[in-house]
């Protein structure tokens, strides 16, 4: 017995016209869908995606419907989001370790950038930090820390030393912040990788909003990765920008580390990898003052960055 399945499928097939790739098609499917000319947010989004794919933006398209402003809290987490008219379109509150506790919005659009301004994957419930994924439901990373050898007494899965109220964990992949707050009984500085305070994070984001800051920070971040609100261009991503912050409780120790200077710039090879190092005195500095120190330190010495790296590559053949 032979059954012509193709014929059976053909009889059940239905065709209809629908909006495709944001083209100006006013057809609907079963009375549902959207029209690309109806002025809705969904229409503007479809049209913008289509224009971006074709690199064919048109004057008169309502792209302003896709413009939103993020108003973060002290951790950089998206708290209030407003549109071009200043209207609140989304409000989000979090429990300490990043789970959303309150989420309100006045349309179907929903930002994917939530806790620490990191992208949230609704399917898995994880935040993407660049180097690792974080699960806010259990307050743990789902993989080990690449710098676990630097702090053997701390669980490699722990988020921010279990102190997410005042500490922020960036992705730490290409720009490596180190916070020094204590000296052990042998007189050695104890530094914590990836454990930067909120003043530093705010200052780096402020620096990243300047044209020079975007260029400088972006050079050390892998292409299309994001850190401090800056998208990487990958120019120097095989090298490391290491920022050492000093906030020691003892004034004498602080002076020994940072004597009468707010910032210092150097370059050296560490563990086989070339590092550009910026030392910062963050004690009693506001975020604005720290941003100025960062900008001054990197702008003053960063102009020689190309020369420094080219010399290193010439000598060591990298």
Q: Minimal CA–CA distance to 176: which of 154, 141, 147?
A: 147
pTM here is 0.45
- Please provide the distance, in angstroms rounded to a whole number, between the alpha carbons at the two ends of the chain: 70
Query: Domain spans of the chain?
Result: 67-159, 170-316
Residue showing tokens 């079963």: 30
Render each residue's pLDDT in the chain as its tens digit; 318 residues. 555 545 544 444 444 444 444 444 444 444 444 444 555 555 666 666 666 556 665 555 555 666 788 888 877 788 998 887 888 889 999 998 999 999 988 876 788 889 988 889 988 999 988 778 999 999 888 887 766 665 566 677 877 767 676 566 665 445 666 666 666 666 666 555 555 667 778 888 888 888 888 888 888 887 877 778 888 888 888 888 888 888 777 777 777 777 656 677 778 777 677 888 888 887 777 888 888 888 877 776 666 778 888 888 887 766
Query: d(Cα 195, Cα 169) in Å, to the nearest integer?
Result: 6
The per-residue pLDDT for 35 is 46
Which residues are CB-neighbours of 15 under 8 A, at least 6 positions away? none
């Amino acid at each position: 017995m032979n059954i012509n399945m193709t014929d059976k499928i053909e009889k059940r097939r239905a065709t209809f016209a629908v909006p495709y790739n944001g083209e100006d098609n006013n057809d609907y499917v079963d009375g549902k869908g959207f029209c690309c000319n109806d002025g809705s947010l969904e229409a503007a989004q479809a049209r913008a995606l289509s224009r971006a794919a074709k690199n064919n933006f048109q004057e008169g398209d309502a792209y302003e419907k896709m413009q939103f402003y993020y108003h973060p809290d002290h951790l950089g987490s998206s708290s209030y989001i407003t549109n071009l008219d200043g209207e609140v379109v989304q409000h989000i509150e979090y429990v300490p370790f990043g789970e959303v506790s309150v989420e309100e919005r006045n349309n179907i659009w929903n930002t994917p950038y939530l806790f620490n301004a990191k992208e949230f994957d609704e399917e898995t419930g994880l935040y993407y930090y660049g180097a690792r994924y974080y699960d806010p439901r259990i307050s743990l990373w789902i993989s080990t820390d690449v710098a676990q050898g630097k702090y053997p007494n701390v669980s490699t899965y722990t988020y921010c030393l279990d102190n997410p109220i005042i500490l922020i964990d960036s992705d730490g992949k290409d720009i490596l912040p180190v916070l020094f707050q204590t000296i052990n009984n042998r007189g050695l500085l104890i530094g914590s990788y990836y454990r930067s305070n909120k003043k530093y994070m705010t200052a780096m984001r402020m620096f990243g909003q300047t044209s020079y800051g975007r260029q400088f920070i972006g050079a050390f971040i892998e292409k299309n990765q994001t850190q401090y609100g800056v998208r990487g261009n990958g120019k120097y991503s095989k090298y490391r920008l290491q920022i050492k912050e000093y906030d020691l409780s003892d004034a004498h120790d602080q002076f020994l580390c940072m004597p009468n200077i707010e910032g210092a710039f150097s370059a050296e090879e560490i563990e086989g990898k070339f590092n550009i190092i910026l030392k910062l005195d963050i004690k009693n500095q506001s975020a604005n003052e720290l941003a100025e120190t960062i900008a001054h330190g990197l702008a003053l010495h960063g102009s020689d960055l190309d020369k420094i790296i080219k010399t290193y590559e010439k000598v060591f053949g990298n």
